[in-house]
Amino acid sequence: MNIKKILVIDDNRLILKLIFVILNIDFPDYQVMLSQSAIEGIEIAKRELPDTILLDILMPEMDGFEVCNILKNNESTRHIPILLVSALSEMSYRIKGLNSGADAFISKPFDRAELKAQINVMLRIKFAEDLLRKRNENLEILIKMQTAEFQNIEERYLKVSGYALEYFWEVDQSGQFNYVSPVIVKILGFDSEEIVGLKSLFDFCSYNGNTETKELLADIFARRENFTENEILCSHKNGEKVWLTISGFPILDGNNNFAGYIGVNHDITRRREAEEANKKHLEKINEYQKKLKNLYYELTVAEEKERRKIAEYLHDGLGQTISIASIKLSAIARGELPPAVKKTLEESSELLREAIGETRELVYDLSPPILYELGLIAAIKWKLEQVEKKFGVVTVFQSYENSIGLGTDIKVLLFRIVCELLNNAIKHSGADLIKVEIQKNLKNITIMVIDDGNGFDFSQGMNLSDLGGFGLFSIKERLDSLQGSLLIKSQPSKGTEIIATVPI
């Protein structure tokens, strides 16, 4: 049984002790490992592979951003969720932390309930990624098993290829055999003596009660047409299934009258077995892929619900508490107090107002209320305003629809897709202008994100994983779960246009 573990890396011994006590109370089933050294913490992470890591930013030998970057670029530790814990609460540090690969951020001094909630989110992310990784491993095992099966079929084929896999034949005008080459015994199990003058061309063509092949041959025979590599299902003498191709043409006697057929049958049973095995193999892969896409959709929806729960807690719980504390301090500061005390109260009130502002920003980043209250279009407009405000990029929004009626899950997924595309444009394109356009018809909703940035070399059919990163691949998976599509148009120095289409 695997031991569940949480690793805490912080150079402050008192903070380590505090977190250790909290985690032992709130997560009694987990082994808590501590490290005061960034380098030692990296080695522990590689050796113990914890379920999540709490990582301080300000450390003497190596800061938390470097540690996070190292862990996220290591094959064995890249899947471990990392929660950055630091007294640095400025937005620039949050952005730098997330860009270095961190999964979430919490400021010191932290609230115990918020820390517990954030760790629970990290553990759920780890569980979901482990589940997906296990499914992928099972899929790889299945592919290897099927590949081995195909190799066995090929080996069997090579063993029997020492003799000709075809036999020649001639039949009279009624279809009765006048001649058949001896090789037929190796293909259908009958000696030529058991066939010539005794059986007809159609006698082997009913397998397991199915007369479709017999009817096909009889129809071609009656119309005096050529057999042109028709694939037919026949029965071996022992009752087994045999697949053949039949080629042949009518023959005429000295008076130019129809006298029968002459032809050749080729054994394609091994090939058909391989095709049927490959078909079953592809069906199983498609089934696994469908299940994985459904799981990805469910995980995305579950993640959004958790985001909303945390946002509601921050707004209704922590946010309200801080607001009340700010009001009370302001009321006290208005009284007759010594100047030093009054100044301290005013500074404390200002700090609380800043905390209220940061909490409000965090709530909107986690789960913007405008998305649920006013809908997708209003939320995208708000997001573009935030992009202009934070990054100085000019944005344009265009839509002939004032609102689009969508289910909550679909609305949230589309909003997250737009956010991911905007983040990609900001991080990688160097764009001065980003345009978002929404179109709707009776069948589809189309969202276009266009930038005038650097662009990149991309051709349709190219594997998204070759581009590096996980963003566009993640968007493609989300769209697949909605039976949607993703179209990318980009050239170096000519900007990028990404079109996401989802059926209504």
- What pLDDT, in 10s, does the model give residues 235-267? 898 988 899 999 889 988 878 889 899 898 999
- Confidence bin at 377 (pLDDT 50/70/90): confident
Say what percent of the chain tops pLDDT 90.
14
pLDDT at 156 over 80: no
- Written as one letter, the residue type at 288 is Y
Task: Over range 44-64, report the average pLDDT.
Answer: 89
What mean pLDDT comes out for the span 157-183?
76
Tell me the per-residue pLDDT of 424-437, one tens digit each, with 9 for 90 and over: 888 888 888 999 99
Q: Is the pLDDT of residue 98 over 70?
A: yes
For 34, the enclosing helix (H) or strand (E) is: strand 31-35
Q: What is the per-residue pLDDT for 89?
A: 62
* Residue 235, pLDDT score: 87
Do residues 164 and 183 lie in contact, with contact meaning Cβ atoms separated by under 8 Å? Answer: yes
Task: State yes or no: pLDDT of 80 exceeds 60.
Answer: yes
- Which two tokens mark 374? 């006013």
- Looking at residue 150, its pLDDT comes to 40
Torsions phi, psi of 476, nearest 5? -60, -40
Look at 149-158, 282-291, 383-392, 411-420 and tell me which has the smallest mean pLDDT.
149-158
Per CATH, is 166-267 categorized as 3.30.930.10? no
Average pLDDT, the chain: 81
pLDDT digits 0-9 by tens, 4-49: 899 999 888 888 888 898 899 989 989 999 999 989 989 999 999 9
R_g of the chain computed on alpha carbons: 35
Where are the chain's structural domains?
5-110, 166-267, 370-503
Give yes or no for residue 151 having a pLDDT over 50: no
Task: Read off the pLDDT of residues 309-364 as tens digits, 9 standing for 90 and up.
Answer: 776 666 667 767 777 877 877 778 777 778 888 788 777 878 877 777 777 777 66
Between residues 400 and 160, the one the model is more confident about: 400
Percentage, residues of the chain above pLDDT 70: 87
Nearest to 103 by CA among 71, 74, 131: 71
The pTM of this model reads 0.43
Distances (CA, A) of 351 to 61, 318, 334, 345, 409: 31, 15, 17, 10, 37
Out of 41-45, 402-406, 453-457, 496-500, pick the least confident.
402-406
Q: Does 382 score more than 80 pLDDT?
A: yes
**154 pLDDT above the threshold of 60:** no
Q: What is the mean pLDDT of residues 288-305?
A: 71
CATH topology of domain 5-110: Rossmann fold (3.40.50)
- Is the per-residue pLDDT at 163 higher than 50? no
Q: Which CATH class is domain 370-503?
A: alpha beta
Q: Both tokens of residue 357?
A: 């502002």
pLDDT, position 34: 93
Longest C-alpha distance within the chain, in Å?
Answer: 133
- Going from the C-alpha of 302 to that of each of 112, 151, 215, 310, 493, the distances in angstroms are 23, 42, 56, 12, 39
